[in-house]
Structure 1
Amino acid sequence: MADNLIGEHESSIVDSAKEKITESFQEDDSSSSDSDSKPIPKKTFPPPPKRNTAHSASWKDKPVHDLLGGGKAADIFLWRNKKKSASVLLFSTIVWALFEMIEYHLLSLICHILILVLGIHFLWSNTLNLFYRCPQFPQVALEEDTVLQIATVVRIEINNAMEDLREIASGKDLKKFLTVIAFLWIVSIAGSCCNLLTLIYICFVLLHTVPVLYEQHKEKADVLLEKGEAELKKQFEVFHEKVLSKVPSRQFSKKIA
């Protein structure tokens, strides 16, 4: 009887183990079938940024301060601070008068400035301190971050200018190409009449006067500018009909080739 009980107990243990194994296999099969039946989710990538196809606002709708860059330079050109604007204009006038009217040379100016600075430093350090308790002469040094920022800004501006010139020279916008050529031709004529320093000074004076006058008389100036723009468009259309339309296009040249 004992042997029979032991045998039945062992057979029940074996049967329960078989049932657990079969149940685990069935669960694995069901999970695998569920995973097979469910579609594998595809990787979704963010859509590319849409280009702004809307036309930018006309420069006539923008304030003059924004057209000039909107920084401290715009404040100076628009005389927001009259003392700073007057001092900058006076300094540029003095520099132009020294080099053009008095015929001062740049090397002589640098040497005379250094002589003046060294003389003041010598008197400050050796003479004045004997009679008065003067503070130390201020030290002047360029910070590395400032120099790097200036170099970065100059590099970015040069790269943007080179990119703009490349786009203009590619011939995609014929009107812009002809406008730049006409502007450079006018600048070359002005450069033959006066030297570079005088031309820079004239442009500097115009920047101190024209934006202010335009801001004060914006409505009347916009009317005149619209008339001038319409006249230029007419002249360009006449030039396009008489000259540019007679130039063979690229497709025609390809057919000939």
Structure 2
Amino acid sequence: MKNNIRMIAFAAVLATSLAHAADDANVLTLAGGIAGGPRFSGADEHVVGPALGIDYQMANGLYASSLRGIGYGRALGPVSASVALGYRGGRSERDRAGLGGARGSTALRGMGDVKGSATVMVQGGYEIVDGLELSAAAELPLSHRENGRTLSLGLTGTLFDRAADQVTLALSANLADADYVRTYYGVDAAQSAQSGYRRFTPKAGLYEVELGMTWRHQFDERWSVTAMAGITALTRDAARSPLARKDTAPSGAVLVGYRF
């Protein structure tokens, strides 16, 4: 799922990596640190754990990243676009945790496991003015298509950018089709009988809003530290789901990055 420690941490890794992608022909960034967030979307449980990330950006636009997947992206003036193959993690009805974040909870017992999906991610951005970018990203599953599709609309602004420090603020609205919201927030008849949750059939549309702030400090041309804090709020049917024990959740990460 989108809201887990791994995605939070790797977003910070990406901020560190892309800050210097234009400086060299090829940039490899490794990062490690600690991150925390909800056990699953709507959980009232939070977990904290180690996080690792890697991002390799080539001068010709090709990249391989633990967040962005394997893809190609280019920018032409204020317009940018990319397409990549990636992976959307699954969800377990048992307490499971791996490096970078939780993958399930016993609070979901009886709901069955959600299989992970290979995906294609299509993204586009437009820099409205210097330091303010409007973006859109669609995630389309290639396997387990019953898990559904999502669309994210975002606005990112640079609040401070001087010398070795940069602070950005990002706001995004996330929408999904009926398959996605039924997979992650719905409860069918069989699941209701096994889990005890009441039956619930959510509708497609806006299901989540996110606000996050990132601070990056560059020690020298290779070493940096990135800190990220955010809050996620479920909306509409997702917030009314019986699985949503808490409709708002904080998240955060602190990572040290090294670029080659």
What is the TM-score when the length of structure 1 is the normalising length? 0.23
What is the TM-score when the length of structure 2 is the normalising length? 0.23
Bigger share in helix: 1
Bigger share in strand: 2
